Amino acid sequence: MRTREAILPDAQRIHELICAYSGDGTLLPRNFAEICENVRDFVVLEHRGKIIGCGALHLYGVHLAEIRSITVDPAYQRKGGGRHLVNALMDEAKRHGVSCICLFTRRPEFFSQLGFTAVQREDIPDKISKDCCVCPRYHNCDEVAMVRGEVPKFSILREPMNVLVKLEA
C-alpha cells in the first residue's frame, strides 16, 4: 500500500469511497463538484494500482488544519491503510508549518491510537464557524472533537486581522 497526492481523474473514485460512509452520517457528504474543486486537499491510498482509500487536509492557517473525509474500502480495513493516510496528511501539515491538526469523528479510538486527544469543540472555533454553525446536528452533535498539537489561542475566521497580528506578536 502507498499514498500519493490525488489528481482530478481520482475524483470519481474518491466520491464513491466517501459516499459509502456518508449515508449513515459516518462521513460528511461531499458532492462530486466539491471534490473536484478541492482535489488538491486529498491524498489517496493505492494497492496494486487500485485506489482503496482517501483522506483530505483542509488548511485554515499555520495555527490549524483539519483532517477530513478519511476512509478505507471495507475490504482493506485493519491492514494499516488508515494509519498510512493519517501519517501522509500529518506530513503535509508539517510541510506547511501547521502547529495543530484537528478532526471531528465518531471513531475516536482509531485516532487516539495515532496521538490525537479529545477536546471540547468550542476549543476549535474556526471549525465551528466554518461547518458546525450550518450543521443541522449542531445541538445534538455526536462527534468527538480531537486534536494533535497545540490548541490555537485564536480564530482566524472570527478575529479581525489587527487582533491576530497583536496575538502573534
113 touches ligand COA by CB under 6 A: yes
83 touches ligand COA by CB under 6 A: yes
152 touches ligand COA by CB under 6 A: no
Amino acid in position 117? T
φ and ψ at 51, to 5 degrees?
-80, 120
- Lookup result for grid cell 449542531: 138
3 touches ligand COA by CB under 6 A: no
DSSP structure class, residue 159? S
14 touches ligand COA by CB under 6 A: no
The angle at the Cα of 18, spanning 15 to 23, to the nearest 5 degrees, equals: 115
Candidates 80-88, 94-102, 130-138, 161-169 — which segment interacts with ligand COA by CB under 6 A?
80-88
| Among positions 110, 123, 151, 156, the unique one binding ligand COA when judged by CB under 6 A | 110
Q: How far apart are CA 99 and CA 60, in angstroms?
A: 11
The least distance separating ligand COA from the CB of residue 138, rounded to whole angstroms, comes to 18
Does residue 156 contact residue 166 with C-beta atoms inside 8 Å? no
Question: 109 or 140, CB closer to ligand COA?
Answer: 109
| Among positions 6, 42, 93, 105, the unique one binding ligand COA when judged by CB under 6 A | 105
Burial degree of 164 (CB within 10 A; 0-12, 13-18, 19+): middle
Q: Which stretches of the chain bind ligand COA, using CB under 6 A?
A: 21, 26-27, 70-72, 77-83, 105, 107, 109-110, 113
